[in-house]
Amino acid sequence: MTDCDLCGVGIPTVAPVRIFKPKYVHSYPNGMWQGLCEPCLNAAKKVNDENAGTSCGKAGKCDFCGAIAQLFDVDIKIPSFSKGEDDSTVGICKKCLSSIGEAHERWEKEKAAEEHAHH
C-alpha cells in the first residue's frame, strides 16, 4: 500500500510523477518521485490543460513541491472517516502541473498496454 501525495488516500498503486523540490535540489538534481492517485492525477491534468498557455495564478507555496511560485487551484477530494470525503483545493505550480501532464500520458499508456496484454 502507498499513499497519494496530495490527498493521502492509501491505495495499492499510484502514478509516479517526477518533480523538482527546491529543498532537495542538491541531493536529487534529477528530481524526486511523488505518487498520485488517479482522481488527483486527472484533476491536476485537467487544470494543466485548461491553463496551458497562461502563466498567471496566485502567488504562494506549491502544495506538491514546496516552491514559491504562481499557483493554480486544483480541486481534490480528501478521504474522511466522518463524511466519506471532503472537498479541498490545493495550489500547484506550473512546473509540477507540466510534470503531472507527462505522468498522466505515461500512466494512460501503461493502462492501455496492460488492458491489451490481458485480452
Instruction: Quote the CA–CA distance of 100 and 80 in Å, as a whole number.
Output: 25
DSSP annotation of 51 reads T
pTM: 0.86
What is each CA distance from 109 to 17, 44, 56, 87, 100, in whole angstroms? 14, 18, 31, 29, 14
pLDDT tens-place values along the chain, 119 residues long = 889 999 999 999 999 999 999 999 899 999 999 999 999 999 999 999 998 777 677 899 999 999 999 999 999 999 888 888 899 999 999 999 999 999 999 999 988 887 766 55
Structural domains counted in the chain = 1
Question: Which domain range does residue 75 map to?
Answer: 2-118
HSE-CB at 43 with a 13 A cutoff on CA atoms is 20
